[in-house]
């Protein structure tokens, strides 16, 4: 179905998302930080990104901004455990297919990725 890059600093969350996506026939690659993703070639092959909002030095929102500035139009689904209106607004402004609060329903993540594919 395509490669999805997952960036989350929580190893158990990364593993859970990877298993979920792989069960739906996606290929996945996971990273613990924005810097790890940026240092890889995954962006060139990915059909979508699942980004945790709160990472480390570079947030998921800042990562999205950097990718957009570099010309990337990859669909992004933001995920977060710490939801608030300011963060949600920043995520939408940065550009996302969906914004999901952890824990989220697996079908919402799949639907968002599919919507991103069809919009792209």
Residue 120 has pLDDT above 60, yes or no: no
Q: The whole model's pTM is what? A: 0.95
Say how far apart CA 32 and CA 49 lie, in whole Å: 13
Distances (CA, A) of 32 to 55, 57, 116, 117: 8, 12, 23, 24
CA dihedral for 30, 57, 63, 17, sign (positive or negative): positive
In the chain, what are the domains?
A: 3-119 (3.40.50.2300)
SS3 of residue 117 by DSSP: helix
Distances (CA, A) of 99 to 39, 63, 72, 108: 25, 15, 19, 10
In this predicted model, what pLDDT tens digit does every residue of 79-100 receive, in sequence order? 999 999 999 999 999 999 999 9
In this predicted model, what pLDDT tens digit does every residue of 35-47 receive, in sequence order? 999 999 999 999 9
Q: Mean pLDDT, the chain, as a whole number?
A: 95
């Amino acid at each position: 179905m395509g490669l999805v890059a997952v960036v989350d600093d929580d190893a158990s969350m990364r593993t859970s998302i990877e298993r979920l996506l792989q069960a739906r026939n996606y290929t996945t690659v996971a990273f613990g930080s924005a810097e790890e993703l940026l240092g890889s070639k995954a962006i060139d092959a990915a059909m979508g990104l699942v980004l945790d909002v709160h990472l480390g030095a570079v947030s998921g929102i800042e990562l999205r901004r950097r990718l957009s500035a570099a010309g990337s139009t990859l669909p992004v689904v933001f995920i977060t455990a710490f939801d608030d209106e300011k963060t949600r607004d920043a995520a939408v402004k940065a550009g996302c297919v969906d914004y999901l609060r952890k824990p989220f329903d697996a079908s919402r993540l799949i639907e968002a990725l599919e919507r991103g594919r069809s919009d792209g």
